[in-house]
Structure 1
Amino acid sequence: MGSHDDGDGCRGSDGHLMRTGFATGGGDGCIADARRHATAFLEQARADHHLSVSARALDLTQLVVSELVTNACKYAPGPVLLELRLTLETVDVMVWDSDPTVPEARIADPGRIGQHGLEIVKAVAQDLEIHREPVGKRIRARIALSDAPPGTTT
């Protein structure tokens, strides 16, 4: 895990306080490992930058990581890359996989078993973007670090 800054504790040239990456081959335990990695990253943010990361933000980050990594491991052959980027207010969860197919959240159907992952991510994230890459695709979900509703100040 690494952080990126200008050496003075301020934001790096890309506007993020910290960033880290994690790669998995998609085998047993990869989802739990990705969740642990995300938790350690946010705990490091609390310690290194004295950021207030709410329990809800930690839970939502773990949920989003679980859903996106699960989908990548289930539907794409090869490695899955997880990247986390932190600002003063948000954490971006980005997952890359080798399948170029862009997923779409389905219409809510309580009778459907499974395939609710993207619906869940869309419901809990401030923002969700899906981009095709030269190889595969990258999904980015943005999660607020505080429990305050968007647009309010604390």
Structure 2
Amino acid sequence: MEPAGQDEGQQLVERRIAVAGAFEGSEDIAVARDLARRFLTDVQAVHGLPVSARAMSMVQLAVSELVTNARKYAPGPCLLTLEVNGGAVEVTVWDSNPTPPAVLAPDPTRIGQHGLEIVMAVGQSFAVHREPVGKRITTAIVLADDPGGDPAGRRL
């Protein structure tokens, strides 16, 4: 017997909206950004979820910065996962280096090494998790701008 309100064949678990890719060379950074753009285009076109222009740009920026850091500081491939969760897209990059990244204080005179600063500024959250091999860095970026016009993810 089916629970009340359940149509025959209706899924009890919501489908996961996610994509993943493995990247080995510096040329793959552009491929990772393209994967993020195509994923978010599908999130909107296929799944009907709103994706603001800001979210599209910020996810691609976060992907670029995180994959660049993984390629620069860790040997071997890195893995990128994008997953829609609670109105945001979680951007996760795994690499083989177990050393947590150094998050430097903002310094407008410093040349370079602003990637994590940028990721932390555009994301709603930021976390580093050690893994049995390597580490996993995750940030979440809100998909839709506030109906009042505030940019996605920005809280005053």
Instruction: Please tell me the TM-score bracket, short chain as reference.
Output: 0.7 to 0.9
Gaps of 5+ in 2: 1-8
Aligned partner of 2:111 in structure 1 is: 113
**CA distance in 2 between partners of 1:146 and 1:105 (Å):** 27
Compared CA separation, residues 99 and 127, structure 1 to 2 (3 A): same
Greater CA radius of gyration, 1 or 2?
A: 2
1:100 corresponds to which of 89, 98, 101: 98
> Match of 1:117, as an amino acid?
G
TM-score (norm 1): 0.85
Structure 1 CA distance for aligned equivalents of residues 12 and 90 of structure 2? 19
- Whether 1:11 and 2:14 are equivalent positions in the alignment is yes
1:111: how far off?
A: 0.9
Q: CA deviation at 1:98?
A: 0.3
Cα deviation code 1:41-71 (max 9, x no counterpart): 0111111211110000000000000000000
* Partner Cα separation in structure 2 for residue 72 and residue 46 of structure 1: 28
C-alpha spacing 1:78/1:104, structure 2 compared with 1 (3 Å): same
* Structure 1 unaligned blocks of 5 or more: 1-5
1 CA distance for matches of 2:139 and 2:81? Answer: 11
* Letter matched to residue 122 of structure 2: V
Alignment of 1:102-141 (within 5 A): 102-141=100-139
Q: In the aligned structure 2, how far is the partner of 1:89 from the partner of 1:49?
A: 12
Q: Aligned runs of 1:20-59 on 2, under 5 Å?
A: 20-25=19-24, 27-59=25-57
Whole-angstrom CA distance in 1 between matches of 2:141 and 2:84: 10
**Percentage identity across paired residues of the two chains:** 51
CA distance in 2, matches of 1:147, 1:80: 30
Instruction: Quickly say closer, same or farther: Cα 1:61–1:9, change in 2 above 3 A.
Output: farther
2: distance between equivalents of 1:10 and 1:20? Answer: 18
2:72 maps to a residue whose letter is: K
Q: Does structure 2 retain, via aligned residues, the 8 Å contact 1:51–1:88? A: no
